[in-house]
Amino acid sequence: MEIPESKLIKSELILRDMDLSQEVKMARKSLVRWLALSLGIISKNESRQSVLNVLEALLYYHLKEKKEPNYQDLVDYFSQNNIQMNEKTIRYHLTQLRKMGLLDDSRGTYRFSGFQYDNLSSALEQTYQKRAYLTFFNIKEAISVLEKMYEEQR
């Protein structure tokens, strides 16, 4: 049974404050996983690799190739790196990243929200700060309404 409040949730904002150890910094896959955990893309103890593969492909095109990849670019990346991914899985993860507000889809190409090829970390920070601001805007309004209700009870 669905809880009625669940339909009020527009999105979730999960950020994790994690140690960035030297061990993590030694391997690209470890850094991609760390980033996915830190940004709330995956949950702790997540064992599935598919979203990490999609994230790694997006990072490759944005940071190395300096281009906004299209779907076929991602398929080519997986093929070149011997990663087995079916179309449904790839599209599912792209959709989930868009729903999280991390990815924009324009004319069939994908880019991290707010990213202009100079500073991905700043783009991600701005994306999360904007989402946090919008969330706290409503929280402040709710607290204000509660304050008035409690004052009226006196």
User: Which pLDDT tens digit goes with each residue over 121-151?
Assistant: 888 988 899 989 999 999 999 999 999 999 9
Q: Which of 5, 26, 120, 13 is CA-nearest to residue 34?
A: 26
* Separation between Cα atoms, residue 130 and residue 114, nearest integer Å: 11
Above pLDDT 70, what percent of the chain? 96
Which residue type occupies 8? L
Query: Which tokens sit at 136?
Result: 């706290």
Contacts of 149 (CB under 8 A, 6+ apart): none
Place of tokens 């790196």: 81
Q: What is the pLDDT of residues 29-61, one digit of tens each?
A: 999 999 999 999 999 888 889 999 999 999 999
Q: Which of 46, 59, 45, 29 is CA-nearest to residue 124?
A: 59
SS3 (DSSP) at 47:
coil
Check residue 122 and give its pLDDT: 87
Residue 4: band (very low, low, confident or very high) from pLDDT cuts 50, 70, 90:
confident
